[in-house]
């Protein structure tokens, strides 16, 4: 019998992903260190699952911040976002890019144009207003 699971908690044993992403947001690490650190974390997760006897280790279940936002960018569900700015999934992680629209939306910041991104909320989670 083959074993499979739906994914592995991406945050890591000691909230590793949260610490990595917050270090990037604060400017303590650069994009290359962010990519390198998350690659190491993903390999650790795959290895732990394989060592636990999982035959079919899931992939493409990793997000730097928000899996729902990643999916919205994947299917182009962010109104007004130009085609060239969409996350080119799944090549984004392969090309080691962290796209600015995803970063801005996840951090509730405005684009350089000065026009609001129409996202809001007080909990730190981006919510699209749909206007």
pLDDT tens profile 49-96: 999 999 999 877 788 877 887 777 777 777 665 554 444 444 444 444
Which is more confidently placed, 100 or 34? 34
| Mean pLDDT confidence for 45-49 | 92
Model pLDDT, residue 58 = 87
The domain spans of the chain are 1-62, 65-131
Of the candidates 49, 36, 43, 78, the residue with the CA atom closest to the CA atom of residue 62 = 43
Reported as a single tens digit per residue, the pLDDT across 9-25 is 888 889 999 999 899 88
Q: How much is the mean pLDDT over the chain?
A: 72
The predicted pLDDT at position 107 comes to 60
Residue 97: HSE in the Cβ half-sphere, 13 Å Cα cutoff: 13
Say what angle helices 67-75 and 100-107 make with each other, to 10 degrees: 130
Provide the pLDDT for residue 49. Answer: 93
State pLDDT tens for residues 94-111: 444 445 556 666 665 554
Q: How would you class 25 by CB atoms within 10 Å of its CB: exposed for 0-12, middle for 13-18, buried for 19 or more?
A: middle
pLDDT of residue 53: 94
**Residue 29 pLDDT greater than 90, yes or no:** yes
Query: What pLDDT does residue 100 have?
Result: 58
């Amino acid at each position: 019998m083959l074993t499979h699971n739906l994914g592995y908690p991406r945050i890591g044993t000691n909230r590793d992903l949260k610490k990595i992403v917050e270090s990037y947001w604060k400017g303590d690490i650069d994009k290359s260190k962010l990519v390198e650190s998350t690659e190491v974390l993903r390999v650790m997760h795959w290895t732990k699952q394989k060592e636990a006897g999982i035959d079919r280790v899931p992939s493409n279940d990793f997000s730097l911040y928000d899996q729902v936002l990643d999916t919205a960018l994947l299917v182009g569900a962010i109104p007004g976002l130009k085609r060239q700015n969409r996350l080119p999934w799944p090549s984004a992680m392969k090309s080691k890019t962290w796209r600015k629209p995803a970063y801005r939306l996840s951090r509730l910041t405005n684009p350089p144009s000065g026009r609001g991104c129409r996202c809001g909320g007080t909990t730190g989670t981006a919510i699209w207003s749909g206007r």
